[in-house]
């Protein structure tokens, strides 16, 4: 991470005109602070009369010191996969619903980003997953996931059948609607809905959460973050692997899926005083009395 931040990218939720006003507001604020401002090309289409340089996400990844994402958690997930390999830190402004990752509000955006320009922030490193599909000893697809990698069925009438190995050791064969391999970040997403535990984001672990397993003895397990998880597909009538609800790839019989931790983490910036437990209380409504 390069500090002080001299070039800042503002990235809005794609195909959403509502982000135009806050993007322009933040852009003018940053410019007044002497910061070079760039915006992503897709969001720039909604910024009528703007004077900021527009770039593609790939260009932004190589050119900026900080990226401010205005949108929801889904927007930040998509952006993080592109920026993390280049070590670009990300600050999130919530214009969605939950906001587990985008923890600045619209009302605190200028004060929060201003404090970050002054060095008043905390950093957090969160791991990414890399999942590769191997077919006939050839890698045919690979992608990154911030929340989870999911093997699941398209057809509701069929089940997924696969073998699981961890660090080369056989663990089990399973029939289920699917399997979620989740990071700690993703533990409050699909994995939680499927009955997995909430994992603190500072933990260097991964979890495997079966979706509606055929056997009631199959339960979520947590493994070390450096583990190599291997799935061998035994039945694939209509199954695929999904990366963060963003990218899909269809699987075939005997395909092998290998999931490991990506070599570079996502770097998130939070306001000083940020508390993960406060986020849980607020987003999961734990502070409400019965």
Say what the pLDDT of residue 185 is: 96
| pLDDT for 231 | 97
Helix, strand counts (H, E) of the chain: 7, 18
The full set of domain ranges for the chain reads 7-127+265-283, 129-261
Tokens of 256: 């092998």
**pLDDT for res 218:** 87
- Spell out a b/e string for 172-187, using b for 16 or more CB atoms within 10 Å of the CB, else e: bebbbbbbbbbbbbbb
Find, among 37, 36, 38, 40, the residue nearest to 16 by Cα.
Answer: 40
Non-local (6+) Cβ contacts of 193 within 8 A are none
**Active-site residue set:** 73
pTM, full prediction: 0.92
Identify the residue whose tokens are 């985008």: 102
E strands, the chain, are 7-12, 36-40, 53-55, 66-71, 90-94, 121-126, 129-135, 138-145, 148-153, 160-166, 169-182, 205-213, 221-224, 229-235, 239-243, 247-250, 256-261, 266-271
Question: What pLDDT shows up at residue 236?
Answer: 65
Residue with tokens 């939070």: 270
Report whether 205 contacts 227 (CB < 8 A). Answer: no
Helix (H, G, I), strand (E, B) or coil at 120: coil
- The closest alpha carbon to 17, from 71, 55, 68, 67, belongs to 71
What does pLDDT average to in each consecutive run of 10 residues of the chain (290 residues)? 92 82 94 95 80 93 96 91 95 84 91 96 96 97 97 80 97 94 96 96 97 89 98 85 92 96 96 92 80
CATH number, span 7-127+265-283? 3.40.50.10330
* CA separation, residue 32 to residues 36, 67, 113, 114, 264 (Å): 10, 17, 13, 11, 33
The pLDDT of residue 154 = 77
Which CATH class name applies to 129-261?
A: mainly beta
pLDDT for position 51: 87
């Amino acid at each position: 991470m390069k500090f002080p931040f001299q070039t800042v990218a503002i990235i809005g939720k794609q195909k959403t005109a509502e982000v135009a006003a806050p993007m322009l507001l933040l852009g003018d604020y940053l410019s007044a602070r002497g910061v070079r401002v760039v915006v992503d090309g897709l969001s720039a289409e909604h910024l009528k009369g703007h004077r900021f340089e527009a770039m593609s996400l790939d260009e932004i990844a190589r050119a900026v010191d900080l990226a401010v994402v205005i949108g929801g958690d889904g927007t930040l997930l998509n952006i993080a996969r592109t920026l993390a390999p280049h070590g670009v830190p990300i600050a999130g402004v919530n214009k969605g619903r939950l906001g587990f990752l985008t923890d600045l509000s619209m009302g605190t955006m200028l004060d929060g980003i201003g404090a970050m320009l002054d060095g008043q922030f905390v950093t957090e490193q969160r791991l990414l997953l890399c999942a590769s599909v191997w077919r006939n000893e050839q890698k045919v697809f690979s992608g990154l996931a911030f929340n989870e990698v999911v093997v699941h069925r398209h057809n509701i009438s069929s089940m997924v059948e696969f073998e699981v190995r961890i660090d080369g050791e056989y663990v089990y064969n399973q029939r289920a609607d699917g399997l979620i391999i989740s990071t700690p970040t993703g533990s409050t997403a699909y994995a939680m809905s499927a009955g997995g535990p909430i994992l603190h984001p500072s933990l260097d672990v991964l979890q495997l959460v079966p979706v509606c397993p055929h056997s009631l003895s199959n339960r979520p397990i947590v493994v070390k973050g450096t583990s190599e998880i291997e799935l061998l597909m035994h039945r694939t009538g209509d199954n695929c692997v999904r990366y963060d609800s963003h990218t899909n790839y269809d699987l075939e019989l005997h395909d092998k899926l290998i999931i490991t931790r990506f070599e570079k983490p996502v770097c998130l910036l939070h306001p000083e005083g940020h508390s993960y437990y406060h986020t849980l209380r607020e987003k999961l409504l734990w502070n409400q009395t019965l």
